[in-house]
Amino acid sequence: MARRAAFVAARPLITPEGVDLRVRLADAGTRASAFLLDVVIISTAAVVITIVALFGLRGLGAHELQPLFIVWIILIFLLRNAYFIAFEAGRRAATPGKRIVGIRVASRSGAGLTIDQVIARNLMREIEIFLPLSILAGRGGAGVADTLTTIFGLVWALLFALFPLFNRDRLRIGDLLAGTWVVEAPKVALVEDLSLRQDPVAKAFHFSQAQLDAYGIAELHKLEEVLRRDDYFALRAVADTIGRKIGAVPQAPDSRAFLTAYYGELRAHLERKLLLGNRKADKHAR
């Protein structure tokens, strides 16, 4: 049964180079755990901000505090959205909660995760979760209207909360609209350490500027992901693809050394270009 579950969780992830990285989808429990951890972090920050603000405004009357309460609501809205967007738009594509449980956000197309996708999936969370919770929190008493509001808020929250359980890829509505999914990201050795290894085989590879100009930042990140996974077949396929494109096909046993050497030189090459104000986003950029 465990093998069957693992097989169902596996999905193909085809990179722009045509390489299948094979990812494992995060299950609903892991995603819920990550979200709860993030909520704890955000709530802690909100409490700290509120306490500081109350100490600073303790001399004001209740009438003067009303407009400031609206400002506080807006700031909390911005805080929680900035939190998710900033972390998921970063290099790790994961909030602290996701990093703790070992998952990350990825684009279902296999290309790099874009800021538009990150914004779309996270703003949709307001409609999925926080808006129905606000409706439940804002009900006033025990009348018929409040009872109906409570029922409406609960149905709304349950509808969106249970949606991932009724599709095979465990997608939220936000994931569906943004073209993303949440995948497992087990902790592995940093690829920066790999690029600095004193590997005598990797040292044998040297690349010209024209060969390094073939790829950009997006491909560098995909190459990093391949090196992190350390899967023989993926390494071999990517090495063959890059080798054919730049005219330096490696021998079969040297796939990892070839990619490690190319990764190190490509990263240094792109960093030098960035210092000169020349940012090459991907292989299509000139």
213-243: b (≥16 Cβ within 10 Å) or e: bebbbbbbbbbbbbbbeeeeebbbbbbbebb
Q: What's the rounded mean pLDDT across residues 201-230?
A: 78
pTM over 0.85: no
Rounded average pLDDT over 72-91: 88
- Domain limits of the chain? 2-128+165-184, 191-275
More confident of the two residues 240 and 283: 240
Please name the residues in contact with 146: beta carbons below 8 A apart, sequence gap of 6 or more: 139, 140
Ranges 4-13, 104-113, 171-180, most confident:
171-180
pLDDT tens for 105-121 read 988 887 778 899 999 99
- Interatomic CA distance for residues 112 and 132, integer angstroms: 32
pLDDT(25) > 80: yes
User: Taking 50 as the threshold, does the pLDDT of residue 39 lie above it?
Assistant: yes
Q: Please determine, for residue 53, whether its predicted confidence score (pLDDT) is greater than 70.
A: yes
| Residue 52 CB burial class (10 angstroms; 0-12, 13-18, ≥19) | exposed
> What integer is the mean pLDDT of 161-176?
84
